[in-house]
Structure 1
Amino acid sequence: MKISMKTLKEYGIITLGVILLAVSLEYFYYPNDIAAGGVSGLALVINKITGISQGMFMNVANVILFALAFWLIGGSFGGRSIYAAFGLSITISLIESFLPTFAVTENMLLATIFGSVVGAFGIALVFSQNSSTGGTAIVAKILNKYLHIEIGKSLLCADCVVVVCALLVFGVDKALFGLIGVFIMGILIDKIIEGFNSCKQLLIISEKSEEISQVIMKEIERGCTKIEGTGGYSKETVTILYVVVNRRQFISLKKKIKEIDPRAFITVNDSKEVFGEGFLDLVEM
């Protein structure tokens, strides 16, 4: 079976995300006993109680959770999520077996902040490829189906259970840092994903709209839409160009428009997500 470059790129991004998340756990969270929710946080608690390695526990937990998922809610978790979930637990096992693990910083606040930032980037990369790391996401879907609890609330409940377990094992201070980590990661993940997909939408009014449209299509390599309008004061017919570009193309397009028509009127708005040809594939979402 031939694997396309697109598929390789997607799994490559997921792999990078998994590695970043594993690094945040092994070098920031785990050495400082910070359990910031999820199966990874529960793995730390179990490790302190029983001595079972975090990677081993996560592998076993993933097998059980995915088995429950297929039994209770059907095969709604695709191959990417299975790959990411087991990829994370295997990566952690490899780090624990073959690499030295240590605390990058023993300052609890710094460890929580930087661990959350690195971990959030990792999870955002995984989520950006329509995947997840399993774990509490599976629990949330089961609760949603049978108890009709919203996914977001289910995830929060699952994470809170882990934080309570951490409180009993590590004490109040470390449990609170874990709770801070949960909130920081939750906020950052959304912001980072928005950054991945954000674009600029422009409305351009110019006497040289035809020349600008050719630049957009041939040099910027984006499509554009022409809208016929009428000036409220001048009553003259004008052609308005509507175009959506990424941030890099936006910088280039501004320079091109300035060269063609310094008097052009332009409005710019942020778009959090754009679906369609050249952007996100709506079919895959």
Structure 2
Amino acid sequence: MKKVVKEYFIITLGVWFIACGINFFLVPHNLAAGGLSGLAMVINNYVPALNVGIIMIIGDIFFFIIGFIFIGKSFGIKTIYSSLMLSTTISILQWLVPLSQPISQDILISLIFGILLSAFGMAIVFNHGAATGGTDIPAKILNKYFHIEIGKGLLIIDFIVTMMALVAFGPTTGLYAILGVIMNGYVIDFIIDGFNIIKRVEIISRKSNEVQKFILNELERSATIYRAVGAYDQNEKDVIVTVMGKKEFLKLRSFLKTNDPEAFIITHNVHEVLGEGFNSIIE
């Protein structure tokens, strides 16, 4: 139960980052950088009585109905929660903190901060097995019926939204929106990679047994032992190979510094590890 509460708290935190990026930086400059939020900005331009948050709530409900009809019950509770929470949060922010003018008059600065905040929030949400709904659903429909990859489907939909923004807000704002779509994809991937980096560690130590016990008992990780021969002295040595998180690696390095400062260590950054103790191979 505690794990579930923590997970939903982190997802909620991610949603607030997205909402702040959209509400305080993208919306004031009409930077419709794809997605349901971008579509909501375009509609808001023609129907000012409806704020962006309300339009997103209506859009979420519409897309969920379409999704249930064409895809089936494949939406996770987390996705439904995060998508409705995002549109509700934006609506609350627009009510609590109405902006009479943009925080910064510089459209590029606003684009950068808006994309950084929203991409960071999206990375948090995606990293915890949820999504922000909206235009993800049409992308899944394109994938199911036309065999278009989801990434390409999202790009098509985001491109359509930015073209609508170009018509609604003019070529300069529209081109900035296209730049925002490109930036968003790269930043999300970069942040998610940073969250999920795992260390692959190779250790040659004179105290091999002690190192193995530390990895097994203190770090609660496993390891693979290879027998190798040193080219210089022709002596047999154990090569301990293991994978672990960044915090665990710091503990291991501290242990080796104290117990065998002459140990030889090679580390690699690994972006994905599947199997026991890590992510499951089965999605």
TM-score by length of 1: 0.93
Matches within 5 A, 1:85-124: 85-101=83-99, 103-124=102-123
Matches within 5 A, 1:111-150: 111-150=110-149
Matches within 5 A, 1:148-227: 148-227=147-226
Cα RMSD (Å) of the superposition?
1.7
Residue 33 (structure 2) aligns with: 36
Residue 3 (structure 2) aligns with: 6
**Residue 217 (structure 1) shift:** 3.3
1:239 maps to a residue whose letter is D
- Distance, in Å, in 2 between the alignment partners of 1:275 and 1:5 is 25
- Distance, in Å, in 2 between the alignment partners of 1:19 and 1:231 is 54
Matched residue SS, 2:25 = helix
**Residue 261 (structure 1) shift:** 2.0
Identity in percent:
42
Residue 80 (structure 1) aligns with: 78
Matches within 5 A, 1:43-62: 43-51=40-48, 52-62=50-60
- Distance, in Å, in 2 between the alignment partners of 1:213 and 1:103 is 57
**Residue 214 (structure 1) shift:** 2.5
- Distance, in Å, in 2 between the alignment partners of 1:80 and 1:192 is 20
Q: Deviations over 1:197-231 (max 9, x none)?
A: 10111110112111222233344443333233333
C-alpha contact 1:198 1:274 (8 A) present in aligned 2 = no
Gaps (5+ residues) in structure 2? none
**Residue 278 (structure 1) shift:** 4.3
**Residue 73 (structure 1) shift:** 1.0
Matched residue SS, 2:226 = strand
43-52 or 221-230: bigger deviation: 221-230
- Distance, in Å, in 2 between the alignment partners of 1:142 and 1:206 is 54
1:130 maps to a residue whose letter is G
270-279 or 32-41: bigger deviation: 270-279
**Residue 65 (structure 1) shift:** 0.7
- Distance, in Å, in 1 between the alignment partners of 2:107 and 2:51 is 22
1:275 maps to a residue whose letter is L
35-44 or 236-245: bigger deviation: 236-245
- Distance, in Å, in 1 between the alignment partners of 2:58 and 2:224 is 53
**Residue 166 (structure 1) shift:** 0.5
Q: Does 1:27 align with 2:24?
A: yes
Q: Does 1:260 align with 2:229?
A: no
Matched residue SS, 2:122 = helix
- Distance, in Å, in 2 between the alignment partners of 1:65 and 1:17 is 21
Q: Deviations over 1:8-34 (max 9, x none)?
A: 111111111111100001100001111
- Distance, in Å, in 1 between the alignment partners of 2:85 and 2:151 is 24
C-alpha contact 1:197 1:274 (8 A) present in aligned 2 = no
50-59 or 118-127: bigger deviation: 50-59
42-51 or 92-101: bigger deviation: 92-101
2:60 maps to a residue whose letter is N
The number of equivalent residue pairs is 281
Matched residue SS, 2:225 = strand
1:21 maps to a residue whose letter is I
